[in-house]
C-alpha cells in the first residue's frame, strides 16, 4: 500500500515540477544593457554575456547535434570554436530572431579548402523555430541545431536589443 501511494505521489509530482520549470520566470538581462562580449562554454552549455568585465547574465543554451570539437565542414552539425564577432542580425529569421556569428574565418576556410570541402556557414545565435516557440526552456534538454547556439525566444529578444554590432564572441570547448 505504501509503495502504491509513493508511486502515485511521484506520478502527480512530475507534471507539477515540469510546470514550475516551464513557467518560472528567469532573471532578465538588465534594461538598457549593452553586451560587447559573449563567452560560450560548449561543455557546460552556458553563454555568458558581458559589458567590459562586468558579467550581465548567464544563459543556458543548446548547440549543434554533434557538439564535440570545432566545426570544420558544412553539415558536420558542430558548433564552431574560436574567437568570432557578431556580424549581422535578422528579425525575420525562420528561428524567431537571430544574431550572426562571423564563422568561417580565414583559417576555417583554408582548412576546409585543403580537404576539398566547404566550411559551411550561417552560424547564428537564435531562438526557437517560428512554429515551435511553445517549447520554451525544454529545448535546452537536447542539442538540436545544425551548429548554431540556441536560446529561448524571450532570450533572443533581449540579446537582439543588447548585443552591440561587432561584439566579440569566444566559443570554447
According to the model, what pLDDT value does residue 6 have? 80
> Which residue has cell 564552431?
80
Let me know if domain 29-172 sits in CATH 2.40.440.10. Answer: yes
Catalytic residue among 70, 96, 139, 148: 148
pLDDT in tens, the chain (173 residues): 688 888 877 777 888 888 888 888 889 999 999 999 999 999 999 999 999 999 999 999 999 999 999 999 999 999 999 999 999 999 999 999 999 999 999 999 999 999 999 999 999 999 999 999 999 999 999 999 999 999 999 999 999 999 999 999 999 99
> Catalytic: 70?
no
C-alpha atoms less than 13 angstroms from C-alpha of 163 in its C-beta half-sphere: 30
Q: How far apart are CA 145 and CA 121, in angstroms?
A: 13
Catalytic residue among 70, 96, 126, 139: 126
- On whether the CB atoms of residues 127 and 155 are closer than 8 A, the answer is yes
> Catalytic: 126?
yes
Return the C-alpha cell found at 12.
Answer: 502527480
Listed by start position, the domains of the chain span: 29-172
Q: How far apart are CA 85 and CA 167, in angstroms?
A: 5
Amino acid at each position: 500500500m505504501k509503495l502504491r501511494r509513493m508511486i502515485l505521489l511521484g506520478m502527480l509530482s512530475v507534471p507539477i515540477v515540469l510546470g514550475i520549470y516551464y513557467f518560472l520566470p528567469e532573471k532578465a538581462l538588465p534594461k538598457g544593457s549593452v553586451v560587447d562580449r559573449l563567452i560560450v562554454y560548449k561543455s557546460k552549455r552556458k553563454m555568458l554575456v558581458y559589458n567590459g568585465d562586468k558579467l550581465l547574465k548567464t544563459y543556458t543554451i543548446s548547440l549543434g547535434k554533434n557538439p564535440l570539437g570545432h566545426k570544420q565542414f558544412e553539415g558536420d552539425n558542430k558548433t564552431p570554436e574560436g574567437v568570432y564577432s557578431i556580424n549581422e542580425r535578422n528579425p525575420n529569421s525562420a528561428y524567431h530572431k537571430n544574431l550572426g556569428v562571423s564563422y568561417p574565418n580565414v583559417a576555417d576556410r583554408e582548412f576546409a579548402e585543403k580537404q576539398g570541402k566547404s566550411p559551411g556557414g550561417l552560424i547564428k545565435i537564435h531562438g526557437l523555430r517560428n512554429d515551435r516557440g511553445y517549447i520554451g526552456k525544454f529545448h535546452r534538454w537536447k542539442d538540436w541545431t545544425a551548429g548554431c547556439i540556441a536560446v529561448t525566444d524571450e532570450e533572443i529578444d533581449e540579446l537582439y536589443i543588447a548585443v552591440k554590432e561587432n561584439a566579440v564572441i569566444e566559443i570554447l570547448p
